[in-house]
Amino acid sequence: MEKTVASEPHELLGQLHSTADEFIAIRRAIHAHPELAFEEQRTSDLVAECLRNWGYQVHRGLGGTGVVGVLQKGEGTKSIGIRADMDALPILERTGLDYASRLPGKMHACGHDGHTAMLLCAARYLAQSQDFNGRLHLIFQPAEENEGGALRMVEEGLFEQFPCDEIYALHNAPGLPVGQMAISSGPAMASFDRVTVTLRGRSAHGAMPHHGIDSMQCAASIVLGLQSIITREIDAQQAVVITVGSIQAGEVYNIVPESAVLKIGVRALDPDVRRKVEQRLQAFVQAQASSYQLECEIEYLHKYPVLVNRPEQTEYARQAAIRLLGADMVGERPPTMGSEDFAYMLQHRPGAYIRLGNGVGEDGGCMVHNPLYDFNDKALHIGAAFWVHLASSYLV
């Protein structure tokens, strides 16, 4: 293929569309063999082999199955990092597609198969058909779902070994038409904390509860009372979600349960609000427990941080998307209360996280984490063209 200095964005779309079938085949092969967090062996083998064939220096092992592909062109000293996630979810697929998961109970239900394939599509084009001046880092991470693969890569030296001036990632968005992208500056995804509360009282005959100390009564009181932290103590303009997702207590009608375990998820869009909710939740639960004469243990695990898009990189990504797709195809994206571990990378390097339309209705509108979801292959070359254009216009 002939090399171009910087392909016109509208030509890029056509060029990547013409190679899309090959990468759609790769996407479907990944889809058929989903791998859960930190088990992405087959997927990372495929990624590493492709990158090596196209002339990338390939580094493996960060975060276990992580792969980083490095390509330098020219003498330029600028560097950019682009991340794709590779992991699947523990869901039983029900799409009935001919390339559906071969592994019952595992499924690419978040479209990370598409993210991986589109970055590979961009990788080949950037290596073979696109000039640029500087250093490109393509980061394929494990375990985005719940297990913080991005944090492990960062802790194991991602940005020391592969310094990036700026970093970017994208996620497919069901409900947003194919051909559109969306991004907003500031908090884009919520922090997520996992809290396990264990209450211990004393069992008793259900007919004589006064001989026991009832953990169930206290658990019920905590479930209801926790919401008043949000409604009475946090500024109504601040977004917080507290979800009690599980109560385990007791077995039968006539025994006062000795213990109760509550599993609680806490989400916020502001680090200070996150801290305040933690402090108040701990104090509230302890006070409730002691008012019911129960012992109480709280395990408060900080999971993903708030994902914050930096203004400058958000604008850079937005302008790149506008040049590629047109101004009317690039919208704002209000924050959501979901979480994303790219937030850890954004704590260390300036960057932004952008949404790519996956389609509406029957054509790509099924929400992620659903057994009927599928990444929309019509969006693959659009995401790839975005990466090519973003990287090549940065590395000049």
**Count of helix runs (H) and strand runs (E) in the chain:** 11, 16
Nearer to Zn ion, 144 or 193 (CB): 144
Q: Which residues pair with 4 in a beta bridge?
A: 130
Asked if residue 194 lies in contact with residue 265, where contact means CB atoms within 8 angstroms, the answer is yes
Asked if residue 174 lies in contact with residue 365, where contact means CB atoms within 8 angstroms, the answer is yes
| Dihedral sign for Cα atoms in the order 393, 61, 158, 352 | positive
Nearer to Zn ion, 97 or 367 (CB): 367
Amino acid residing at 79: S
Give the burial class of 327: count Cβ atoms within 10 A of its Cβ; 0-12 exposed, 13-18 middle, 19 or more buried. Answer: exposed
Amino acid residing at 100: A
Amino acid residing at 110: C
Cα(99)–Cα(376) distance, rounded to whole angstroms? 13
Nearer to Zn ion, 189 or 264 (CB): 189
Nearer to Zn ion, 110 or 213 (CB): 110
Asked if residue 355 lies in contact with residue 148, where contact means CB atoms within 8 angstroms, the answer is no
Nearer to Zn ion, 81 or 174 (CB): 174
Nearer to Zn ion, 162 or 192 (CB): 192
Cα(133)–Cα(1) distance, rounded to whole angstroms? 19
Q: Which residues of 133-168 are buried (b: 16+ CB within 10 A; e: fewer)?
A: bbbbbbbbbbbbbbbbbbbbbbeeebbeebebbbbb
CB atoms within 10 A of CB 396: 13
Nearer to Zn ion, 28 or 112 (CB): 112
- Restricting to residues 65-124, which ones interact with Zn ion according to CB under 5 A? 110
Q: What number of chain residues touch Zn ion (CB under 5 A)? A: 1
Place of tokens 């200070």: 272
Q: CB of 158: closest distance to Zn ion in angstroms?
A: 19
Determine the distance from the C-alpha atom of residue 101 to the mean position of all C-alpha atoms in its chain, rounded to a whole number.
21
- Rama region for 353: left / alpha / beta (φ>0; ψ in -120 to 50; rest): beta
Q: CB of 88: closest distance to Zn ion in angstroms?
A: 9
Q: CB of 100: closest distance to Zn ion in angstroms?
A: 18
Q: CB of 122: closest distance to Zn ion in angstroms?
A: 18
| Closest alpha carbon to 181 in 355, 393, 315 | 355
- Restricting to residues 245-284, which ones interact with Zn ion according to CB under 5 A? none
Q: CB of 343: closest distance to Zn ion in angstroms?
A: 13
Nearest position to Zn ion, beta carbon:
110
Q: CB of 338: closest distance to Zn ion in angstroms?
A: 8
Determine the distance from the C-alpha atom of residue 325 to the mean position of all C-alpha atoms in its chain, rounded to a whole number.
24
Q: CB of 115: closest distance to Zn ion in angstroms?
A: 8
Nearer to Zn ion, 52 or 369 (CB): 369
Q: CB of 150: closest distance to Zn ion in angstroms?
A: 12
Nearer to Zn ion, 171 or 276 (CB): 171
Asked if residue 241 lies in contact with residue 190, where contact means CB atoms within 8 angstroms, the answer is yes
Q: CB of 369: closest distance to Zn ion in angstroms?
A: 6
Q: CB of 142: closest distance to Zn ion in angstroms?
A: 13
- Per-residue string for binding with Zn ion, 166-185, x by CB under 5 A? --------------------
Nearer to Zn ion, 15 or 101 (CB): 101
Q: Contact positions toward Zn ion, by CB under 5 A?
A: 110
